[in-house]
Amino acid sequence: MGAAGSLLVFTGVWHAFEWAMHGRNRDTARLVPVGILYALMGWFIVTGQFMPWIAWMALVLTSIGLVAALSMRRTAAIPKWVLWSFIIVDALIIAGLLSGLAL
């Protein structure tokens, strides 16, 4: 569970600051609130607060993020390597949360 929380913090910060790295546009602006949510959920998981419901919420929201990234992978104004990195990290987070929740 700790690895999933750490990945959430890492990718949350990356999401939140992607606009600074690759320009401000509609797609990178959408990543900011997602990044803040990811980072907060990751922090709560790493510190063990509000468990297990925060892990379930993180699982649902990360799954939604994965589906959203997959659906916009051809049209987003975000570099393809960044979008695929987000997809891979989201899949790793989901796997870590599922194993931590023992499903």
Q: What is the pLDDT along the chain (103 residues), one digit of tens a residue?
A: 889 999 999 999 998 998 788 778 877 788 899 999 999 999 999 998 888 899 999 999 999 999 998 988 787 788 889 889 999 999 999 999 999 988 6
The two three-digit tokens of residue 93, written as one number:
């987070």
Q: How many CB atoms lie within 10 A of CB 89?
A: 21
Give CA separation, 70 vs 43, 66, 79, 87, 97, in Å.
25, 6, 14, 7, 20
CA distance 76 to 5: 26
pLDDT for the residue numbered 59: 96
Q: What is the DSSP letter of 78?
A: S
Give the chain's count of helices (H) and strands (E): 4, 0
